[in-house]
A and B are shown apart, each in its own frame.
Chain A
Amino acid sequence: MSDEKRSASLSGAGHLSGGDYTRVSISGAGKVSGDLKAEALRISGAGKVEGHTEALQIAVSGSGAFAGEVVADEMRVSGAARIDGAARVKELKCSGSYRVKENIQAEYVKISGVLRVGGDVEADLFKASGGFEIEGLLSADKVEIRPGGRCFAREIGGERIDVRRGGYREKGILLDGFVRMFTGRGAAEVRADVIEGDEIHLEDTAADVVRGKRVEIGPGCRIGTVEYTERLDVHPSAEVKDQKKI
């Protein structure tokens, strides 16, 4: 293999061997064998990388499947992306569907579609207005959720956790239907075993335990226990079984 970097474009049914590229574009049904390193990777058809993927920019508007780990500065998905390894992406924006078998490590995550993660999601800022299912911990300095479908994480932790009504309810039926297609027919709400943060505001949230410094439990919440150190406000329509000031 030459050291010279090259670009590759696959349209129709194509096959590309892994290596170091500047730009890779897949617009038909394309497969990359081995590890792929590229400055930019664009998948607008059905693309599959059979090894690890490392790129500055990844854009998926069709369907992208990644068999290994994905490392990128920026990843935008408006179609569907499936990653069988872990994702280390500085900036992740998804308005389609994003599935990761292992963890997501990011600085910024914005999800307006659906997200499914087998492990943890770690970010500085996490924003979701669609639905998600995170098997492990969702942790960010700021977690902002406007549930547009079922949102589940086993544990949510960070400095500020803000869950408010909104999401797709106000954005029309089409997107709403799309999100529900993936997340099931459940109500648009957040469900977690444990939520911990310094500033917590919750609406439409069901959790076993909420722990925080300043906690606001808003309308539509069903909480088992709230433990707080400074302040707790509970909306009259919210259900809190147990509350404790520590």
Chain B
Amino acid sequence: MDDDKLISKKDVLERMGISYGQLYRWKRKGLIPELWFIRRSTFTGQETFFPEEKILERIEQIKDMKGDHPLDDLADVITQQVNAKLQVAFDRLKDLKWFDASILDACRIDRTEGGPLTIQETLCVAVLSALRRSARDEELELVRKTLRERLDPVLLDRVTEESLQLHLLRKRLSGGGISAEISLAVIGPAGIVLDPEIESVETVDLGHLLERIKLDLAKETEAEPPAAPSARNTEEER
């Protein structure tokens, strides 16, 4: 999805001033995702490349933090930090064009103090806003629960990488004079095929929505100074 520029492993080591030992160790500890290791054949033999922006930013983070945390805990800490970075100031929500204040209740978000929202909460607000006109209240609640319980960091990554969609579906069952309707919330890739008796109420493109949130927020923040960079820590590990 991202049009990522690639950087070779040796350039990463040189630019960041780290060693092979560190890079392999960080990979083993789960600090650098396997997906970022892109192996290619070059004229000098097999070489490994990385998405430049992602790897440089991640190594910067690891170097900053490894003084304060044992390496084994760092993977968790970094995941949290990445999510924390995506937090959205609550007060800023109302500046967003698509934001619908009445949806906050349905999202069960109560921020009288104006604390920050996680990116999951923000995405939830956006999804429910998009569904509000066609979905019933119970269905909004179903979608909210689905997002709350299923939208972990792993799925959040996949939302962007695989352009996941959220489908709100209904199916009517009848027999013996009784009929009932069930609603389903499904998160999956585009182009799912349903049985003909299922009514698709609404499909929300989560990847698109997430991009839009980020873009809108980027626009809003342009005026503000960027987040304070933490002090670089150049001490050697071990």
In the assembled complex, the Cα of A159 lies from the Cα of B20 at a distance in Å of 6
The interface residues of chain B lying within 8 Å CB-to-CB of A139 are: 24, 27-28
In the assembled complex, the Cα of A158 lies from the Cα of B24 at a distance in Å of 6
> Which residue on A lies nearest to B28, using beta carbons?
A122
Which chain A residues in 199-246 approach chain B with CB under 8 Å?
Answer: 208-209, 211-213, 224-225, 227, 242, 244, 246
B25 interface residue per 8 A CB criterion: yes
Given A209-B44, A225-B45, A159 and B24 contact (CB-CB distance below 8 Å): yes
A198 interface residue per 8 A CB criterion: yes
The interface residues of chain A lying within 8 Å CB-to-CB of B22 are: 159
Given A208-B45, A209-B44, A246-B10, A197 and B20 contact (CB-CB distance below 8 Å): yes
Task: For the complex formed, measure the closest distance between the CB of B96 and the CB atoms of chain A, giving whole angstroms.
Answer: 44
Given A194-B45, A209-B46, A224-B45, A160 and B21 contact (CB-CB distance below 8 Å): yes
A73 interface residue per 8 A CB criterion: no
Interchain CB contact under 8 A, A212 and B25: no
In the assembled complex, the Cα of A225 lies from the Cα of B21 at a distance in Å of 20
Question: Interface SS of chain B: helix, strand, loop or mixed?
Answer: helix
In the assembled complex, the Cα of A123 lies from the Cα of B184 at a distance in Å of 45
Task: For the complex formed, measure the closest distance between the CB of B82 and the CB atoms of chain A, giving whole angstroms.
Answer: 23
A64 interface residue per 8 A CB criterion: no
A193 interface residue per 8 A CB criterion: yes
Which chain B residues in 3-43 approach chain A with CB under 8 Å?
Answer: 9-10, 14, 19-25, 27-28
In the assembled complex, the Cα of A225 lies from the Cα of B43 at a distance in Å of 10
> Which residue on B lies nearest to A157, using beta carbons?
B24
Interchain CB contact under 8 A, B45 and A213: no
The interface residues of chain A lying within 8 Å CB-to-CB of B21 are: 141, 158-160, 197-198
Interchain CB contact under 8 A, B44 and A225: yes
The interface residues of chain A lying within 8 Å CB-to-CB of B47 are: 209
In the assembled complex, the Cα of A147 lies from the Cα of B24 at a distance in Å of 23
Task: For the complex formed, measure the closest distance between the CB of B200 and the CB atoms of chain A, giving whole angstroms.
Answer: 39
A84 interface residue per 8 A CB criterion: no
Tell me the count of chain A residues lying within 8 A, CB to CB, of chain B.
26
Interchain CB contact under 8 A, A209 and B45: yes
The interface residues of chain A lying within 8 Å CB-to-CB of B44 are: 209, 225, 227, 242, 244
Interchain CB contact under 8 A, A211 and B20: yes
Interchain CB contact under 8 A, B46 and A194: yes
The interface residues of chain A lying within 8 Å CB-to-CB of B25 are: 141, 158-159
Given A160-B21, A193-B46, A227 and B28 contact (CB-CB distance below 8 Å): no
Task: For the complex formed, measure the closest distance between the CB of A56 and the CB atoms of chain B, giving whole angstroms.
Answer: 19
The interface residues of chain A lying within 8 Å CB-to-CB of B46 are: 155, 193-194, 208-209
In the assembled complex, the Cα of A156 lies from the Cα of B24 at a distance in Å of 10
A196 interface residue per 8 A CB criterion: yes
Task: For the complex formed, measure the closest distance between the CB of B64 and the CB atoms of chain A, giving whole angstroms.
Answer: 21
Interchain CB contact under 8 A, B10 and A159: no
Interchain CB contact under 8 A, B20 and A198: yes
Task: For the complex formed, measure the closest distance between the CB of A230 and the CB atoms of chain B, giving whole angstroms.
Answer: 11
The interface residues of chain B lying within 8 Å CB-to-CB of A159 are: 19-22, 24-25
Which chain A residues in 172-209 approach chain B with CB under 8 Å?
Answer: 193-194, 196-198, 208-209
The interface residues of chain B lying within 8 Å CB-to-CB of A213 are: 19-20
In the assembled complex, the Cα of A211 lies from the Cα of B10 at a distance in Å of 9
Interchain CB contact under 8 A, A196 and B45: no
Task: For the complex formed, measure the closest distance between the CB of A161 and the CB atoms of chain B, giving whole angstroms.
Answer: 9
The interface residues of chain B lying within 8 Å CB-to-CB of A225 are: 44-45
The interface residues of chain B lying within 8 Å CB-to-CB of A208 are: 45-46
Which chain B residues in 77-125 approach chain A with CB under 8 Å?
Answer: none
Interchain CB contact under 8 A, B19 and A227: no
Subset of 26 A-B contacts with CB under 8 Å:
A140-B24, A141-B21, A141-B24, A141-B25, A159-B19, A159-B21, A159-B22, A193-B45, A193-B46, A196-B9, A196-B20, A197-B21, A198-B19, A198-B21, A208-B45, A208-B46, A209-B45, A211-B10, A211-B20, A212-B20, A224-B45, A225-B45, A227-B10, A244-B44, A246-B10, A246-B14
Apart from A141-B25, A197-B20, what 5 extra A-B contacts exist at CB < 8 Å?
A139-B24, A158-B21, A159-B20, A159-B22, A211-B10
Nearest 7 A/B pairs, CB to CB: A159-B21, A209-B45, A157-B24, A122-B28, A198-B19, A208-B45, A139-B24
